[in-house]
A and B are shown apart, each in its own frame.
Chain A
């Protein structure tokens, strides 16, 4: 019995299990908290926290007002923060018990530049579209809102352009 459980917890699960898992947890979150799963709102709040720490003054900017009021009661125990940190923690547990954790080396500057640029684009885009793949696409489409479908169409276009860029990079540079 013990062996079966260990085997189950450390083997690869099919993709559809992940799909069902996301759906069930998302429905649970909506039922119990009134809001579906989201990630980037909290990431934005992290940005405000960091700006505070390094001493950038953002108080007088009109566009930030809504987030600044949220920032007032933001700490480690803020729900969205626990969701994000919990996700990292869950992955860590899964990776450690199945011998898959390892500090991976960075292979070069090219990787770092791509990560920074990709992150910048994702942060900017997510704030314009009020969410990422999780909040806008899954949350929006499931909420029967048109903005989710619009996000899907344009994200697909963006991904296509991104793939063309990667083709060129992979063929010529990497």
Chain B
């Protein structure tokens, strides 16, 4: 089990959520760590999933509240 990090981007719009996710995942996480991104912007959810899949990171989404999601990106 890797370490868990939390990134709160509630209320932020593009390009902030994906940019911050990308920075954290590529610079701070080591392989196996998971970043929990909390966002209320549907487009950001899709963006982060697309980016993660493109780069081979494991990604999972759970709805934590109405119109509020946690995207879990596990670094490959």
Name A residues whose Cβ lies closer than 8 Å to a Cβ of B.
Answer: 12, 95, 99-102, 104-107, 111, 166, 170, 174
Chain A residues within 8 Å of B16, by CB? 170, 174
Query: Shortest distance in angstroms between A49's beta carbon and chain B's nearest beta carbon?
Result: 27
> With contacts A12-B46, A170-B16, A174-B16 known, is A106 near B11, CB below 8 A?
yes
**B68 contacts A102, CB within 8 Å?**
yes
CA distance A112 to B38 in the complex (A): 21
Query: Shortest distance in angstroms between B71's beta carbon and chain A's nearest beta carbon?
Result: 14
Give me 5 other A-B pairs in contact (C-beta within 8 A), A95-B67, A170-B20 excluded: A100-B42, A102-B68, A104-B40, A106-B11, A170-B19
Chain B residues within 8 Å of A166, by CB? 15, 19
**B67 contacts A107, CB within 8 Å?**
no
Query: Shortest distance in angstroms between A96's beta carbon and chain B's nearest beta carbon?
Result: 10
CA distance A104 to B10 in the complex (A): 8
CB-based nearest B residue for A96: B67
**A102 contacts B15, CB within 8 Å?**
no
CA distance A95 to B66 in the complex (A): 11
Q: Is the interface of A mostly helix, strand, loop or mixed?
A: loop
CB-based nearest A residue for B68: A102
CA distance A111 to B10 in the complex (A): 13
Chain B residues within 8 Å of A105, by CB? 10-11
Query: Shortest distance in angstroms between A100's beta carbon and chain B's nearest beta carbon?
Result: 5
CB-based nearest B residue for A167: B19
Query: Which residue of B10, B11, B41, B67 is within 8 Å of A99 (Cβ)?
Result: B67
CA distance A99 to B68 in the complex (A): 9
Query: Which residue of B12, B19, B40, B46 is within 8 Å of A102 (Cβ)?
Result: B40
Chain A residues within 8 Å of B46, by CB? 12
Chain B residues within 8 Å of A174, by CB? 16, 20
CB-based nearest B residue for A115: B13
CA distance A111 to B41 in the complex (A): 15
> With contacts A12-B46, A100-B42, A102-B40 known, is A107 near B66, CB below 8 A?
no
B residues 10-27 near A (Cβ < 8 Å) are: 10-12, 15-16, 19-20
